[in-house]
Amino acid sequence: MNEANPLWWQSGIVYQIYPRSFQDSNADGVGDLRGVIKRLDYLKWLGIKAVWLSPIYPSPMDDFGYDIADYKGIHPLFGNIEDFDALLEEVHARDMKLLLDLVPNHSSDQHPWFKESRSSRDNPKRNWYLWKDARPDGSEPNNWLSEFGGSAWQWDETTQQYYYHAFLASQPDLNWRNPEVQQAMFDVMHFWLKKGVDGFRVDVMWHMIKDEQFRDNPINPDYQPHESTVKKVLAVYSTDQPEVHEIVRKMRSVLDHYKERMMIGEIYLPIQRLMSYYGTDGNGAHLPFNFQLLTLPWEAPQLAAAISQYEGALPQHGWPNWVLSNHDQPRITSRVGMQQSRVAAMLLLTLRGTPTIYYGDELGMQDVPIPFAEVQDPQGLNMPDKNLSRDPARTPMQWTEENYAGFSTVKPWLRLANTYRRVNVETQKSDPYAMLTLYKRLIELRQSEPSLMWGSYIPVYSDQQLVAFIREASTGSRFLIILNLTHRPAYFKAEHITLEGIVEIATFPEDEGQRIKDYITLSGDAGLLIRLDS
């Protein structure tokens, strides 16, 4: 990166919108594109650079849009292509960027490609998906499991073969070894890029290529019964195959036809494996999503070690990134608690690298308990005894204290938090102690201080309770960030650094303005961002 001139996706903040739940504009209880347009000024006010929209394409909605029936259209629930063009224009008019979700690993079974593929064994599109014979006893070709429960193989009566689906049976996996499939998906990318879309978040990037021999996955000796059934085997042959990098490189070269476009990869892998998705010589994904903050235990020693490991493992050209929540995971507030989620916000927005904020996290929205009869997520429905539904983290955005939280004028598709009358944008905007105020101030500072935006990360200290680091650049102030990841008071004594400065932002605003010299006493759940004297 050129320090003086970072690219937009390095200096800016990404905000994930789950379109069903952001803003309804046509009173059907489901969010839509015109609704997003209506709320762009809010995102601009918050200091967001790029909006990532979860899928908006035509889809039977078995997996809420991640089952795509037409890669180049807009689902009528969300609007039409004119609404999309208007959204893109409005985003750009605000000097913001728009990222689309690209789901290349699988389509819907309602996609014309799959309809053709399943119509006969000699259809030209047969080899666009992964078809295999049964084993001699009639059973599935191997032991691969679906993320949503049960076998990953579905028997097709008509053509007497199984097809592979890493997710629902209605989400057949495409065969990425087939050059025609590659071309078709690159064509989809060109379609949106030509319109002016600024890039993609690529769904399950590490799934795209499977073992050529379709060998059985090994049994996971550490499987726990409360876990999703997919964890019964280790996905060593069904995911993260070496040939995937060739595909990523090709996708990257599609993007490189255009100016300043970018690609985020959704990849749940340990640090070393994750790094390979940057590609050799920076020809892979611009940002392989770094999910450590949402997968590791919320404990100071683990986090401090992981941050340093990640920083240390990054390739020379690799720009870091951080995430606290998304539409597949519990919200940060529900994972670490309300008080700690303020500490988490400070961590997210002061680490080196691009932060992605999940809509509503800036309000401290919590996972909403969804009564069993109202569960909609297939992951929840298919494994009912395991509490794996993702609905709780997908509830409507809380804008105002009006009925239905200003999200809609009718009953929303998924129930709202019953706390929305006090937890909403309108109320929090004028509350100095609100989560929104903390986010807004952290963002403002991050975006105006070179050291926070692109300066280096220097670990300073960690113990059972604390994580402390410095951010510094060749120009502007230096900052010390010190976070107490526990509820008990903690003490920090500077040993190898000169510590003098003023608390500029704190998770407890009462701590702000305090002068610090050598020694700091922190209350439980405290996070301090200190502007150092020199």
Residues in region 44-73 near ligand NOJ by CB under 6 A: 63, 66
Quote the longest CA-to-CA distance of the chain: 77
Residue closest to 335 by CA, chosen among 302, 293, 370, 305? 293
What is the DSSP annotation of 200-265? EEETTGGGSS--TT-PPPPB-TT--TTS-GGGGB--TTTS--TTHHHHHHHHHHHHTTSSS-EEEE
> Residue from 145, 188, 204, 466 that binds ligand NOJ (CB under 6 A)?
204
Q: Is 167 in the site for ligand NOJ (CB under 6 A)?
A: yes
Residues in region 98-127 near ligand NOJ by CB under 6 A: 103
Residue closest to 63 by CA, chosen among 169, 202, 155? 169
Q: Which three-class secondary structure state does DSSP give residue 53?
A: strand
> Residue from 109, 173, 203, 525 that binds ligand NOJ (CB under 6 A)?
203
Q: Is 310 in the site for ligand NOJ (CB under 6 A)?
A: no
Number of residues that bind ligand NOJ (CB under 6 A): 9
* Least distance from ligand NOJ to the Cβ atom of residue 167, Å: 4
Nearer to ligand NOJ, 324 or 494 (CB): 324
Alpha-carbon distance values, 127 to 152, 257, 333, 452 (Å): 18, 29, 45, 49
Q: Which three-class secondary structure state does DSSP give residue 70?
A: coil
Q: Is 391 in the site for ligand NOJ (CB under 6 A)?
A: no
Q: Is 291 in the site for ligand NOJ (CB under 6 A)?
A: no
Question: Is residue 90 flagged as an active site residue?
Answer: no
Question: Is residue 133 flagged as an active site residue?
Answer: no
* Least distance from ligand NOJ to the Cβ atom of residue 144, Å: 15
CA dihedral 107, 114, 73, 38 (to 10 degrees): -30
Q: How crowded is the C-beta side of 128, counted as CA atoms within 13 Å? A: 26
Q: Which of 266, 361, 362, 377 is catalytic?
A: 266
CA distance 360 to 155: 41
Q: Which of 32, 198, 203, 472 is catalytic?
A: 203
DSSP state at residue 495 = S
Q: Is 227 in the site for ligand NOJ (CB under 6 A)?
A: no
Residues in region 451-490 near ligand NOJ by CB under 6 A: none
Q: Is 533 in the site for ligand NOJ (CB under 6 A)?
A: no
* Least distance from ligand NOJ to the Cβ atom of residue 67, Å: 7
Contacts with 23 (C-beta within 8 Å, 6 or more apart), sequence order? 31, 32, 35, 36, 38, 39, 397, 399, 407
Type of residue found at 200: F
Q: Is 264 in the site for ligand NOJ (CB under 6 A)?
A: no
Nearer to ligand NOJ, 204 or 528 (CB): 204
Instruction: Specify the residue for token string 């101030």.
Output: 441
Nearer to ligand NOJ, 128 or 167 (CB): 167
> Residue from 28, 328, 426, 533 that binds ligand NOJ (CB under 6 A)?
328
Nearer to ligand NOJ, 166 or 416 (CB): 166
**Which residue of this chain has its Cβ atom nearest to ligand NOJ in the complex?**
66
- Would you give the distance in Å from CA 125 to the centre of its chain? 32
* Least distance from ligand NOJ to the Cβ atom of residue 328, Å: 5
The residues binding ligand NOJ (CB under 6 A) are: 63, 66, 103, 167, 203-204, 266, 327-328
Residues identified as active-site? 203, 266
